Amino acid sequence: MILLKPSFEILNITRDPLRLIERAGRVCYRSEDKIAEGSAEKFCRMLIKNGHESVLEHAHATVEIVTSRDVTHQLVRHRLTSPSQESQRYCDYSGQVRFIIPEWADIEPADEYGDIDFENVEVMSSPEWEWLAQVFEAETGYQRLRELGKRPEQARSVLPNCTATTVVVTANFREWRHIFRLRSGSCADAEMRRVMLPLLSEMQNRVPVVFDDIGGDHGTSFALAVAESLRKQEPAPHTRRARALARLIDDCNAALALYPGQIDARYIDLAAQVFETLEKQAAAGLNG
Ligand SMILES: Cc1cc2nc3c(=O)[nH]c(=O)nc-3n(C[C@H](O)[C@H](O)[C@H](O)COP(=O)(O)OP(=O)(O)OC[C@H]3O[C@@H](n4cnc5c(N)ncnc54)[C@H](O)[C@@H]3O)c2cc1C
């Protein structure tokens, strides 16, 4: 058997997505003449702030995800995605079944576990050993059924939730935002978060304007970054920045109300503290 950790690869993403979103969105206001250097970022932020998210649907990302069947079972519930998933009916796992190591298990990815004589291991004193023995048993059952003439689609009935699978998911940016909100927060399944948090982080790197405000465990990572940069700023920050931070805190609180449990309240507290300092500085005439 082969033991894996989950992984993903962004196979395709709309080229220059902000420009496309701006181009499409400005049709609504007949303001195409306002397209200029740097205008797309501002325009997209305005759309998100105003909840005019349908315009984000013009941009897409296609992601290949290797994870467990239990995670893909949750993922394919998102009806506005287009998934293509490895078929256990057609793919034959005779020889090697792949399993995803659970997030709680301290087991290294490898294919050498197949050499362990599980039937003769008498003491299984840890959850890791118990898990290894169970997946070994499942793989053995699959192989036996195949040898007894059952087709892959019949033998698969003994495979567990942690069986590895590959799915390619295409969705527009609005739907990815929705998925990240639901699937990266602390209410989401730990196995799902294991895929979604790094994927969200990658999307935030690639298209920060569209994904930076999404929670996950980063909570208000944007707020945190702003708060930290303001904290370090010399000389004292301008009041305009203080006002921007105040708006940010409001947004964080609104998001917290909408998605309880998904935004780390500590970040809001930190931002609030920085804001308070700024206010004091402003009152003392330290700000420009
Ligand atoms: C933490 C968590 C726990 C869950 N637990 C369970 C569970 O115990 N059992 C279970 O069965 N499911 C569970 N689910 C799955 C959940 O019920 C949904 O199936 C899943 O979130 C996908 O649906 P969606 O509405 O979020 O959005 P999507 O299907 O991704 O659609 C996006 C949005 O499009 C709109 N939309 C899509 N289709 C329609 C439609 N037909 N009519 C109107 N508007 C539409 C809605 O605004 C929707 O939010 C859980 C999900 C989460 C995040």
Contact in structure between 111 and 1 (CB atoms under 8 Å): yes
Sign of CA dihedral 118, 119, 123, 128: positive
Q: Whose CA is nearest to atom 41 of ligand 1?
A: 79
pLDDT at residue 95 in the model: 81
The architecture CATH gives domain 1-212: 2-Layer Sandwich (3.30)
User: Catalytic one among 26, 156, 174, 183?
Assistant: 183
Please name the residue whose Cα sits nearest to atom 6 of ligand 1: 74
d(CA 184, CA 206): 18
Please give the C-alpha separations between residue 260 and each of 184, 205, 220, in angstroms, as whole numbers. 12, 25, 13
Whether the CB of 178 sits within 6 Å of ligand 1: yes
190 lines ligand 1 (CB under 6 A): no
- Count Cβ atoms below 10 Å from residue 89 Cβ, excluding itself: 10
**What is the SS3 assignment for 36?**
coil
Task: List pLDDT tens digits, range 149-168.
Answer: 999 999 999 999 999 999 99
Report whether residue 80 contacts ligand 1, using a CB cutoff of 6 Å: yes
- Chain mean position to CA 112: 30
Residues in the chain: 288
Q: What is the pLDDT, as a whole number, of residue 218?
A: 45
77 CA from centroid of ligand 1 (Å): 7
Residues of the chain predicted below pLDDT 70:
111-124, 215-244, 246-271, 274-275, 278-279, 281-283, 285-288
Residue 45: which H helix or E strand, with range? helix 39-49
Our answer on whether the CB atom of 259 is closer than 6 Å to any ligand 1 atom is no
Does pTM surpass 0.75?
A: yes
pLDDT at 184: 87
Query: 79 in ligand 1 pocket by Cβ < 6 Å?
Result: yes
- Atom 40 of ligand 1 has which residue's CA nearest to it? 79
DSSP, residue by residue, 142-191: HHHHHHTT--HHHHGGG--TTBEEEEEEEEEHHHHHHHHHHHSSTTS-HH
In this prediction, residue 159 carries a pLDDT of: 98
- Ligand 1 center–CA 83 separation, angstroms: 15
Residue 77 Cβ < 6 Å to ligand 1: yes
Q: Is 30 in the pocket of ligand 1 (CB under 6 A)?
A: no
- Residue 225 confidence (pLDDT): 54
Q: In 3D, which of 216, 163, 166, 162 has the Cα closest to residue 11?
A: 166
Q: Which helix (H) or strand (E) holds 66?
A: strand 60-68
Domain boundaries, the chain: 1-212, 221-283
- Pick the residue whose CA is nearest to atom 14 on ligand 1: 74
Q: Which atom of ligand 1 is nearest to the CA of 187?
A: 1
To the query of whether residue 183 is one of the catalytic residues in this protein, the response is: yes
What's the Cα-to-Cα distance from 50 to each of 46, 53, 139, 168, rounded to whole Å? 6, 8, 52, 31
The per-residue pLDDT for 287 is 45
Q: Which atom of ligand 1 is nearest to the CA of 179?
A: 30
**Ligand 1 atom closest to 182 (CA):** 53
Number of C-beta neighbours around residue 144 at 10 A: 12
pLDDT at 74: 97
What is each CA distance from 154 to 88, 90, 95, 137, 238, in whole angstroms?
A: 9, 10, 16, 17, 68
